[in-house]
Structure 1
């Protein structure tokens, strides 16, 4: 990470500035921020930024290969197959840990990937508030490919709306106002005009969907889908209470739910490169590695790190009843390269792509970062620390 900018930031940091930053960040937002925001952004060197871009290009090249959909067909659970799947994902997110290679170089290592949207609205708001609160220089940007706020929001609007008007597209989650990421939904609504609805708000007439708009039913042409089926799987009767979105409906999806599964941990064994940890489907494992302590077991169909076995014990592999639904992945060791006032902090950086209809390939647009001092990156593993949580990475324009 950029040591010069880091030194300047840390020397001028105060708890009072951070407190004011949090007040401003929450001011005017319809929904309060439900997750911890870190005291600092990340500042990337040009070299590390370029490595991230190269790593992302190599992964995207695999997704663009003919036959990718055929190869990933098994990734989609039978219970969650939805009609009207489109030809490509509208969103791709790639999570990289900041690590050290055998030669001592700081490098990105892929942790996970998804064909599912992330905080595409909130990250703009977050970066603007960091810049204002901590006087971040104007030559630093959070955007890639020469984008700025205006052109980025144009690309986001093009991706989400397609040919439709904002009130014909809805941002949907199972219980949208009460999701931890609701702040992103409402900021996106402010940026591009798409209303926020919950699953229970959908009204079905024949094969068409509607929602109430100023007391009148409004036709839904496209759903900006933020619903993850893993989160509703525990309620097998949910579609007895609300519209069953699995049935054939006259509506477009952005992103279609199938891409959440196609571009996921399931994709990891298909990837190769300097920035990809060795990964195998467990049922294809011919021989258990002698250095099993350097690997981690991950279930293919889980959310937010649930079910992951970090420290594999003797017999763990043999106990797994459905090895075709697990991967054995080389353990990635984060290097605590961010210098906080009380020690090193680990970093994970998410590259966020947008792929509107009509474009030949996705565009790397913006990023998200997370800081950790715990054993894993997620919020639940960092509850008792400071200088951890959600943030964003700045880099030279």
Structure 2
């Protein structure tokens, strides 16, 4: 971990600043966080960051082989395949644990996800941490690729919305207001203008899907399905 940033943060930390962080996170969108917010971020060194990125890229590369495609195809029961599936997912999330190997800290795989998990929330909490804790440099980011804030939002918008308007794209869930990650839904709505919609609220007419958006029946052109 980064010793200078850690020492600076610890010296500047107060319970009042942590309370300010919680207020920022919980009051920024229509839904609060339903899980505990850590008192501090993790300050990674460049060396460990490079290790984590290398590990993630190696894992991602394994999913792009013909052998992986052949074996993964058998994991989906017949009749449950998704039509018009793209060759690769737009999102690939590699969750890594920080483990100790002798005297070294090393990244180890927890799980792999192919859907947008907490992309809105992580941007929200980054801004709140910068605001609550002045010891965190404004240039510090949670983006492993070093992407600046505006570019991050731009990439997220283009990937999720494409050529569609925000009202024609939805976050599809089962009772989204009851999910532990609902703060991510509301954060994404704040960033991109797309609403979270329960699957039971969708209406089908012919080959088209519709949902109620502020009293107006609105056509769905694309949906993000967020499995738990």
Which TM-score band (shorter chain)?
Answer: over 0.9
Contact 2:168 2:222 in 1 (8 A): yes
Paired residue total: 227
* 1:73 and 2:73 aligned: yes
Give the structure 1 partner of residue 119 of structure 2.
120
Structure-2 change in CA distance of 1:25 and 1:216 (3 Å): closer
Partner deviation per Cα, 1:38-84 (whole Å, 9 max, x = no partner) = 11111001100000111111111112223532221122244743333
Give the structure 1 partner of residue 97 of structure 2.
97
Map of 1:12-31 to 2, 5 A cutoff?
Answer: 12-31=12-31
TM-score (norm 1): 0.55
How far, CA to CA, are the matches of 2:210 and 2:57 in structure 1? Answer: 39
Partner deviation per Cα, 1:292-325 (whole Å, 9 max, x = no partner) = xxxxxxxxxxxxxxxxxxxxxxxxxxxxxxxxxx
Counterpart secondary structure, 1:91: coil
Partner deviation per Cα, 1:186-209 (whole Å, 9 max, x = no partner) = 111111111221111100112221
Map of 1:37-186 to 2, 5 A cutoff?
Answer: 37-78=37-78, 80-102=80-102, 104-135=103-134, 136-186=136-186
Range that drifts further, 209-218 or 29-38 = 209-218
Partner deviation per Cα, 1:258-290 (whole Å, 9 max, x = no partner) = xxxxxxxxxxxxxxxxxxxxxxxxxxxxxxxxx
Give how far 1:22 is off: 0.8
How far, CA to CA, are the matches of 1:204 and 1:3 in structure 2? Answer: 56
Map of 1:245-260 to 2, 5 A cutoff?
Answer: none
How far, CA to CA, are the matches of 2:76 and 2:153 in structure 1? Answer: 31
Give how far 1:13 is off: 1.3
1 or 2 for the larger relative contact order (CA 8 Å, sep ≥6)?
1
Structure number with the higher helix fraction is 2
Give the structure 2 partner of residue 192 of structure 1.
192
Segments of structure 1 that go 5 or more residues without pairing to the other structure are 229-397
How far, CA to CA, are the matches of 2:139 and 2:164 in structure 1? Answer: 35
Structure number with the higher strand fraction is 1
Counterpart secondary structure, 2:51: helix
Contact 1:170 1:220 in 2 (8 A): yes
Structure-2 change in CA distance of 1:138 and 1:126 (3 Å): same
TM-score (norm 2): 0.93
Give how far 1:220 is off: 0.7
How far, CA to CA, are the matches of 2:42 and 2:220 in structure 1? Answer: 39
Q: Please tell me the root mean square deviation across aligned C-alpha atoms, in Å.
A: 1.6
Contact 1:172 1:227 in 2 (8 A): no
Partner deviation per Cα, 1:315-341 (whole Å, 9 max, x = no partner) = xxxxxxxxxxxxxxxxxxxxxxxxxxx
Counterpart secondary structure, 2:34: coil
Counterpart secondary structure, 1:172: strand
Segments of structure 2 that go 5 or more residues without pairing to the other structure are none
How far, CA to CA, are the matches of 1:67 and 1:209 in structure 2? Answer: 36
How far, CA to CA, are the matches of 1:108 and 1:16 in structure 2? Answer: 33
How far, CA to CA, are the matches of 1:110 and 1:20 in structure 2? Answer: 33
Partner deviation per Cα, 1:78-107 (whole Å, 9 max, x = no partner) = 4743333222111111111111224x2211
